[in-house]
């Protein structure tokens, strides 16, 4: 086995993991604030189509990513208004978000099927990017890959080292107490929900403008749900979510390379791997219920209402 | 001496849908004064202080601070004025450290620099030992209250509001708290002390404002009053103590716990250690103790919500019952009254008749071949409502439409009407108005007089002394020997509640 | 804020039923605005969507054919949702149920027997139950979230279907199309009205509605389901077994979905194709909510949702509108429903707080 094979494999892992990193890190913040948004899949797919449509019409990858974030944010806004202000059930609302997002994206995407976009530009630093092995591995990605790593660093720092992050955790831990010592649970949660939506949107944008720069209906293929599982797997810790995403990226490449290596298994069975792996991971992490609950925000999924 | 009041409220009114919580309430607190706000549950005390602390807004009325009109929009604004508050239900975050908790509850500018150092300093200064790095879930209730007090003191408050601070403390801890409060008062800090415990108010407070049904009844000097006279002002009626009929407490053993050991199913729960107890027909056995010392775990194994490995650890009428589920236990004649009315003892959104069916299905024959007998369930619920004077317009109303006292009467009635041989009640009158509480206590005593065995677990010592024949104490999962109520004093019980004198190693003063 | 939510002393029973109607009206109004913006005559579009498809007997029959799986699955899901068991993998259970039934039809494709259809139905139910048993087992044994596991299994189910129609079950005489053989006459559900596709499955759906209604409103199991959903602690207090209810609700909803799958296959399609369901398993989630998690409500909601499928088809044919508009409609309807549901527990007040004259007791 030569290095020639290894480098593209690692690059594939990176591209498969990056959309999951965005979605999972965003959802981590949402859940830390005590909100369970099951609409990640819907927000991702809307991010994907918004980004792709923008990319095709403007040709700008940057604008495409902004549009993806905006689309995710708008969908999250619906979720936030319904759950935070209208007290609707978070599980039901998240499902509605996914159904709506899949439908709307298909509707908008109808006229974009078959169009193409050249994809996000890869970083190219003369000298550095040409170094064998290290060059392509560290200096050869598109901007979003670096941004995903930076966002993990920022979110981890925000949650653990800043007062605002402490407040987000406090709201997720005990919203009544946070309210009675004078914080606006509503505002904190809305902020977290919108951030999560924007991040899911960027994750979707990555799929349609970098991973496979074209539009296919349902192209997220359950990645939003896998991101939700990753948050649980990571015990609500951004860095573990990042590692989890790369683990899943690794499983994806088994799929791609197994056939190339002459393994006699139907494509369908290989495609099942990420889903089966998700189930396996959930079992491993949840089987000790006491342990699994330690890091879960105590108010996760509970609505807050105060009569003023 | 024309001193300006530190705080003055004029004509505060606040209405909720269907309830006027405060009606034209006025009161004055002078600098250095310890001012009691006295009233029953539901008299409007909490609503009033939430307004002062900026958590809630009033509909009408004015608030003067040092003579100037203010209207704190939120707790941060109130803290800036110099108002601190210790909540009855602590506003703490279990999964965070003491320091993080304090940091969230004070002005941002105070969190800069060596906060941990200042926490240690203040806590040492006022005799409130605290370790800033400990996680809240590892602390006892008393220690948690210290966090709230220290959090206020760091702000250099001019007015400290304390909402029912002693309901979770041992008598000895109460004394310690009073020392701290008196010292603060001497330093010029005003204290607004909310309670319904009359003896405490007599011991601590300079003045008292008594509220009833949202209105101020009278202002008085507690020193010049008797507990009884204040009680009458508070309730507006003469209360009768429960009558104790002639009792025969030497009946056969109905419920027996022997070498009961249980590992808690809860995160941060308490392990029950080697509990032995015999409950006889015709007696009321009271179990005192501060919340969080194993009461919940004890209740769970008694109800059958948690099953034991060793069936013989619990015997009901001499039959091993450790592995009987709640349905089987009810069949064996056990009545159960959990602490939490809404969501445990009753389903809030369900009607009263459905809630009657909830626990009465087996014993009252309310189901046939798996189908619900609606008419019979309605009749049973109506009987409970009649017999226990539950105020409601019909049994098809949802449980959460009833007031706390009425719902508790319904739950207690539902269990008693099933004619149990043993009844186990956890905090039977917690958060219930005095009238309902008296009725519930009387009902438990009457049940014992009819030959049932009653186990009452409560934090309220007055209540236990009133209804019990024998009293035991639970502390850190261990239970003291039950002693006849004539032979123990409140002080002795208090020491046991703090874990002093129990078998095994004495606990750190909890 | 000018608008305030004020908690009602008790849930409003009339709003429970009014809320879905409000949601439907709001959805139609929004859709009309949307059509107007797209340059389509809104009145004509609504007529195409909601009236045209059911203006013929054939159309009405087709409505029932489409409503059958939605109602079947919706009833099962509603029971689970009431118990806070969130099976959202009904689509996968539908597919596996269809494969279990369809496999039987293929195995006996050259036999004629009156027992074949009943055996296929039973095998479909078992298939759906088996697929739902996985999340049930994982949840009760390993505490694993059933939302994620049942959904992941849907993707796996779709891939199993794809594998079978591309591989072992492909019609040997089918010019390499990914489709199975056509089922034998005796593997097809009896048709109720000639010249239509309305079949016995519709009657089974009605039967399930009645059974579900009896279970939820009169039977102790329905009572237990409701209690565990509303107040899990109270359920423990009453001695109801949580794990048993998780198993039960997942098996019921899985069985219903499996039944829906096999009915779709042997009643409407007649062979195994790569796409058995246009997302019935997901739409049924909306059906369950719109029907207030009550079997009778689910019946009406199922008919309404079936109409959106027919409307989508007719809009595609006569107005050249993409089929995806159905999903947008359905999602929008659910949003409006969830928003109007706030009125069940709260009333909306305008303006500042007013003091009421009542006094506390």
Mean pLDDT of A75-91: 93
Residues within 8 A of C (CB atoms), B 192-231 only: 213-214
- Selecting from A279, A292, A308 the residue whose C-beta is nearest the C-beta of C143 gives A292
Residue A301's pLDDT band, with cuts at 50, 70 and 90, is confident
Identify whether the C-beta of residue B448 lies closer than 8 Å to the C-beta of residue B281. no
A114, pLDDT greater than 70:
yes
State the smallest CA–CA distance between residue C215 and chain B in angstroms.
Answer: 9
Answer whether C324 sits within 8 Å of A95, measured CB to CB: no
Number of domains in chain B: 2
Chain B residues whose CB is inside 8 A of the A89 CB are none
Nearest to A36 by CA among B135, C86, B193, C197: C86
CB of B367 less than 8 A from some CB of C = yes
Nearest to B29 by CA among B180, B194, B165, B166: B194
SS (H, E, C) B72-125: CCCHHHHHHHCEEEECCCCCCCCCCEHHHHHHHCCCHHHHCCCHHHHHHHHHHH
B23 and B144 fall within a common domain: yes
**Residue B180 within any structural domain of the chain:** yes
**Residue B278 within any structural domain of the chain:** yes
Complex confidence, ipTM: 0.88
CB of B255 less than 8 A from some CB of C = no
Query: CA-to-CA distance for B403 and B399, rounded, in angstroms?
Result: 9
Write down the pLDDT at residue B302.
Answer: 93
**Residue B359 within any structural domain of the chain:** no
- Start-end of H helices in chain A: 3-32, 40-58, 61-80, 90-109, 134-139, 143-161, 163-173, 175-180, 185-206, 223-233, 238-260, 267-286, 289-294
A2, pLDDT greater than 60:
no
SS (H, E, C) C130-147: HHHHHHHHHHHHHCCCHH
Nearest to A276 by CA among C155, C162, C138: C155
Write down the pLDDT at residue B509.
Answer: 38
Mean pLDDT of C304-326: 86
**Residue B274 within any structural domain of the chain:** yes
B182 and B110 fall within a common domain: yes
DSSP letters spanning B1-33:
--PPPSEEEEEEEEEETTEEEEEEEEEEE-TT-
| Across A182-191, A255-264, C294-303, least confident range | A255-264
Helix axes A238-260, A267-286, angle to 10 degrees: 150
- Selecting from A163, A166, A182 the residue whose C-beta is nearest the C-beta of B75 gives A182
**Residue B481 within any structural domain of the chain:** yes
Q: pLDDT for A172-224, tens place per residue? A: 999 999 998 889 999 999 999 999 999 999 999 999 999 888 899 889 989 99
**Residue B55 within any structural domain of the chain:** yes
Quick one: closest CA in C to B57, which residue? C353
A1, pLDDT greater than 60:
no
Chain B residues whose CB is inside 8 A of the A298 CB are 94-95
Answer whether B104 sits within 8 Å of A308, measured CB to CB: no
**Residue B386 within any structural domain of the chain:** no
Mean pLDDT of C343-358: 63
Write down the pLDDT at residue B501.
Answer: 67
**Residue B450 within any structural domain of the chain:** yes
What DSSP element (H or E) covers C287? helix C280-290
Write down the pLDDT at residue C360.
Answer: 34
Q: Indicate the average pLDDT of chain A.
A: 88
Query: CA-to-CA distance for B268 and A248, rounded, in angstroms?
Result: 34
Spatial CB neighbours of B169, under 8 Å, sequence gap ≥ 6:
B141, B142, B145, B177, B290
B314 and B226 fall within a common domain: no
- CB count within 10 Å of CB A301 equals 17
CB of B489 less than 8 A from some CB of C = no
C359, pLDDT greater than 60:
no
Write down the pLDDT at residue B237.
Answer: 64
Q: pLDDT for A14-66, tens place per residue? A: 999 999 999 999 999 999 999 999 999 999 999 999 999 999 999 888 999 99
The last residue of a domain, from among B235, B270, B302:
B235
Give the chains touching B; criterion: ≥3 Cβ pairs < 8 Å: A, C
CB of B389 less than 8 A from some CB of C = no
Chain C residues whose CB is inside 8 A of the A251 CB are none
B171 and B54 fall within a common domain: yes
pTM of the entire structure?
0.88
B231 and B262 fall within a common domain: no
Write down the pLDDT at residue B46.
Answer: 84
- Domain residues for B461? 253-347+416-497
- What are the respective helix, strand and coil percentages of chain B, to the nearest 5? 35, 25, 40
- Selecting from C152, C327, C330 the residue whose C-beta is nearest the C-beta of A279 gives C152
Residues within 8 A of C (CB atoms), A 43-72 only: none
> In degrees rounded to 5, what are phi and psi of residue B424?
-120, 125
Establish, for the pair of chains A and C, how many residue pairs have beta carbons separated by less than 8 Å: 141
- B247 vs C117 pLDDT, higher one: C117
Domains and CATH numbers, chain C: 64-343 (1.10.3470)
Identify whether the C-beta of residue A58 lies closer than 8 Å to the C-beta of residue A64. yes
Write down the pLDDT at residue C2.
Answer: 56
Give the residues of chain B that fall short of pLDDT 50. Answer: 1, 504-510
B60 and B137 fall within a common domain: yes
Query: CA-to-CA distance for B234 and A188, rounded, in angstroms?
Result: 41
Query: CA-to-CA distance for C9 and B348, rounded, in angstroms?
Result: 12
B213 and B269 fall within a common domain: no
Write down the pLDDT at residue B250.
Answer: 74
B85 and B221 fall within a common domain: yes
B231 and B277 fall within a common domain: no
B196 and B313 fall within a common domain: no
The last residue of a domain, from among B235, B264, B296:
B235
Residue C356's pLDDT band, with cuts at 50, 70 and 90, is very low
B189 and B284 fall within a common domain: no
Which residue shows structure tokens 């189901």?
A: B367
Answer whether A217 sits within 8 Å of C330, measured CB to CB: no
Domain containing residue B118: CATH number: 3.40.50.300
- Selecting from B78, B93, B267 the residue whose C-beta is nearest the C-beta of A290 gives B267
Q: pLDDT for C141-176, tens place per residue? A: 998 999 999 999 999 999 999 999 998 898 888 788
Q: What angle do CA C298, C299, C305 make, to 5 degrees?
A: 80
Identify whether the C-beta of residue C94 lies closer than 8 Å to the C-beta of residue C127. no
Residues within 8 A of C (CB atoms), B 306-325 only: 325
B192 and B323 fall within a common domain: no
Write down the pLDDT at residue A307.
Answer: 52
């Amino acid at each position: 086995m030569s290095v020639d094979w290894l480098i593209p494999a690692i690059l594939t892992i990176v591209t498969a993991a990056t959309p999951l990193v965005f979605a999972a890190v965003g959802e981590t913040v949402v859940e830390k604030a005590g909100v369970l948004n099951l609409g990640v899949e819907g927000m991702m797919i809307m991010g994907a189509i918004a980004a792709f449509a923008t990319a095709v019409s403007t040709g700008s990858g940057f604008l495409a990513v902004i549009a993806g974030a905006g689309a995710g944010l708008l969908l999250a806004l619906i979720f936030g208004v319904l759950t935070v202000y209208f007290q609707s059930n978070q599980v039901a609302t998240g499902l509605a978000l996914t159904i709506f997002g899949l439908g709307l994206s298909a509707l908008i995407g109808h006229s974009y099927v078959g169009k193409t976009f050249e994809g996000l530009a890869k970083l190219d630093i003369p000298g550095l990017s040409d170094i064998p092995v290290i060059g392509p591995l560290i200096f050869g990605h598109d901007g979003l890959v670096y941004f995903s790593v930076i966002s993990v660093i920022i979110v981890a720092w925000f949650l653990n080292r800043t007062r605002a992050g402490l407040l987000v955790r406090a709201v997720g831990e005990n919203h009544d107490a946070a309210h009675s010592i004078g914080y606006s649970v509503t505002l904190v949660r809305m902020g977290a929900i919108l951030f999560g939506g924007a991040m899911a949107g960027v994750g979707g944008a990555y799929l349609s403008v970098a991973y496979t720069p074209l539009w296919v209906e349902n192209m997220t293929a359950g990645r939003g749900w896998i991101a939700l599982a990753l948050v649980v797997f990571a015990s609500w810790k951004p860095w573990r979510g990042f590692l989890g995403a790369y683990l899943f990226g690794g499983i994806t490449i088994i799929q791609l390379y197994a056939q190339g290596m002459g393994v006699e298994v139907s494509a369908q069975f290989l495609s099942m791997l990420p889903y089966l792996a998700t189930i396996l991971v959930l079992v491993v992490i949840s089987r000790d219920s006491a342990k699994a609950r330690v890091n879960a925000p105590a108010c996760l999924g509970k609505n807050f209402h105060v009569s003023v | 001496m024309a001193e300006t009041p530190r705080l003055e409220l004029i004509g505060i009114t606040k209405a909720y849908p269907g309830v006027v919580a405060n009606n034209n309430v006025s009161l004055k607190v002078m600098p250095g004064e310890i001012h009691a706000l006295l009233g029953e549950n539901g008299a409007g005390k909490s609503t009033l202080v939430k307004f002062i602390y900026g958590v809630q807004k009033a509909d009408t009325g004015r608030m003067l601070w040092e003579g100037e009109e203010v209207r704190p929009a939120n707790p941060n604004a109130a803290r800036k004025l110099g108002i601190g508050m210790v909540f009855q239900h602590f506003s703490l975050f279990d999964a965070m450290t003491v320091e993080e908790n304090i940091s969230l509850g004070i002005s941002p500018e105070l969190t800069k620099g060596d906060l941990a150092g200042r926490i240690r300093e203040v806590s040492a200064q006022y005799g409130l030992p605290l370790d800033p790095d400990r996680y809240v879930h590892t602390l006892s209730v008393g220690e948690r209250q210290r966090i709230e007090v220290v959090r206020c003191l760091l702000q250099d408050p001019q007015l400290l509001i304390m909402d029912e601070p002693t309901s979770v403390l041992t008598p000895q801890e109460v004394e310690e708290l009073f020392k701290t409060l008196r010292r603060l008062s001497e330093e010029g800090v005003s204290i607004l002390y909310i309670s319904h415990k009359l003896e405490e108010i007599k011991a601590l407070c300079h003045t008292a404002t008594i509220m009833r049904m949202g209105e101020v009844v009278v202002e008085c000097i507690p020193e010049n009053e008797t507990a009884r006279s204040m009680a009458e002002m508070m309730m507006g009626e003469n209360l009768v103590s429960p009558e104790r009929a002639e009792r025969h407490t030497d009946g056969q053993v109905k419920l027996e716990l022997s070498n009961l050991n249980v590992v808690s199913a809860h995160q941060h729960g308490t392990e029950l250690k080697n509990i032995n107890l015999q409950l006889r027909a015709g007696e009321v056995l009271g179990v005192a103790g501060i919340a969080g010392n194993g009461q919940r775990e004890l209740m769970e194994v008694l109800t059958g919500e948690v099953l034991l490995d060793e069936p013989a650890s619990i015997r009901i009428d001499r039959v091993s019952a450790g592995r009987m589920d709640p349905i089987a236990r009810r069949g064996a004649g056990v009545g159960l009254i959990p602490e939490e009315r809404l969501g445990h003892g009753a389903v809030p959104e369900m009607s009263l008749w459905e809630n009657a069916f909830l626990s009465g299905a087996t014993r009252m024959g309310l189901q046939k071949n798996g189908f619900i007998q609606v008419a019979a369930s309605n009749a049973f619920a109506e009987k409970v409502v009649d017999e226990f004077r539950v105020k409601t317009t019909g049994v098809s109303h949802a449980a959460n439409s009833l007031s706390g006292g009425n719902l508790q009467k319904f739950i207690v009635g539902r269990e008693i009407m099933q004619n149990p041989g043993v009844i186990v009640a956890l905090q039977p009158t917690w958060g219930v108005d005095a009238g309902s509480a008296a009725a519930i206590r009387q009902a438990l005593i009457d049940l014992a007089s009819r030959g049932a065995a009653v186990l009452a677990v409560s934090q309220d010592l007055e209540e236990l002394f009133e209804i019990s024949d024998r009293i035991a104490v639970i502390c850190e999962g261990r239970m003291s020997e039950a002693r006849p109520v004539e032979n123990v004093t409140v002080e002795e019980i208090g020491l046991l509640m703090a874990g002093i004198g129990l078998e095994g190693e004495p606990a750190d003063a909890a | 804020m000018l608008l305030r939510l004020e908690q009602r002393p008790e849930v409003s029973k009339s709003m429970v039923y009014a809320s879905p109607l409000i949601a439907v009206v709001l959805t139609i109004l929004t859709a009309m605005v949307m059509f107007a913006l797209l340059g389509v005559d809104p009145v004509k579009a609504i007529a195409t969507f909601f009236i045209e498809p059911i203006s013929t007997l054939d159309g009405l029959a087709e409505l029932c054919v489409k409503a059958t799986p939605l109602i079947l699955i919706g009833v099962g899901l509603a029971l689970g949702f009431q118990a806070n068991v969130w099976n959202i993998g009904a689509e996968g259970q539908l597919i596996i149920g269809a494969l279990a039934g369809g496999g039987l039809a293929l195995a006996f494709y050259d036999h004629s027997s009156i027992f074949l259809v009943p055996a296929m139905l039973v095998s479909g139910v078992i298939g759906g139950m088996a697929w739902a048993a996985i999340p049930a087992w994982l949840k009760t044994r390993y505490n694993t979230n059933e939302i994620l596991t049942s959904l992941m299994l849907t993707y796996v189910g779709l891939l199993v279907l794809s594998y079978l129609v591309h591989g072992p079950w492909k019609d040997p005489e089918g010019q390499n199309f990914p489709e199975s053989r056509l089922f034998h006459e005796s593997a097809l559900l009896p048709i109720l009205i000639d010249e239509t596709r309305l079949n016995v499955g519709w009657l089974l759906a009605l039967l399930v509605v009645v059974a579900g209604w009896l279970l939820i409103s009169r039977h102790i199991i329905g009572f237990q389901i409701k209690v565990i959903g509303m107040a899990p602690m109270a359920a423990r207090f009453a001695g109801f077994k949580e794990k048993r209810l998780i198993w039960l609700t997942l098996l019921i909803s899985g069985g219903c979905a499996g039944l829906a799958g096999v009915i779709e296959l042997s009643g409407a399609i007649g062979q195994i194709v790569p796409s058995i369901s246009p997302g019935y398993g997901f739409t049924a989630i909306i059906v369950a909510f719109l029907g207030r998690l009550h079997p009778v409500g689910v019946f009406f909601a199922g008919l309404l949702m079936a109409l959106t499928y027919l409307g989508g088809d007719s809009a595609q044919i006569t107005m050249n509108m993409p089929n995806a508009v159905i999903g947008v409609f359905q999602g929008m309807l659910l949003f409006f429903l969830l928003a109007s549901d706030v009125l069940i527990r709260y009333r909306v007040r305008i303006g500042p707080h007013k003091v009421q004259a009542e006094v506390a007791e």
